[in-house]
Structure 1
Amino acid sequence: MEHIRIGMPVEVNFDAYPGKVFRGKVGSISSGTGAEFSLIPAQNATGNWVKVVQRVPVRIELESSEAPLAIRAGLSAVVSIDTGLSTLDRL
């Protein structure tokens, strides 16, 4: 999350459309995790202090004109955000 900014280029690959790459950009980044804004947030009152994975919603705006027709809720996707850093820069 440290290097992701609004407007960065994105590539999305959906399992339902193998070989098809949808391009877009980062449209927005949520100000909190998904659990923070849920109607009934999960409570951990058992004294178990194991760190739970948190997901920060990132909105992707697709550029492809065919994207609204082809994409359906629930599809599995792999999203790649070009932060401009090489793999070595991230270490």
Structure 2
Amino acid sequence: MIFEKLGKHQKAIENLILLLSTNLILLKIILKKEFISKFRTVLKAKENFNLAIKYNPNIIAEYEAMFKKLTELKNFTIAKDYEQKLQILKKYS
């Protein structure tokens, strides 16, 4: 083995390799937990969205009406916000 040629440094290098491999395992675990957490958040958001559509099926028409009124009143800042939400509603419903 290559480590035999290193003499007194062999144990230190082996410990370093062990430490690095342990850190990689821990990093993988942390990343997996973060992914699962974010995935759960996305699932919950989809459930909430589906419930909103189920109990308020006219939500798209209401957003369209509100967007039209805001545009007529020249309140473009809020109208833009409503337009973005309306696009999301149309895309996912």
| TM bracket, shorter-chain basis | under 0.3
Scaled by the length of structure 1, the TM-score of the pair is 0.21
Using the size of structure 2 for normalisation, the TM-score is 0.21
Which structure is higher in RCO with an 8 Å CA cutoff and minimum separation 6?
Answer: 1
Give the number of the structure whose alpha-carbon radius of gyration is greater: 2
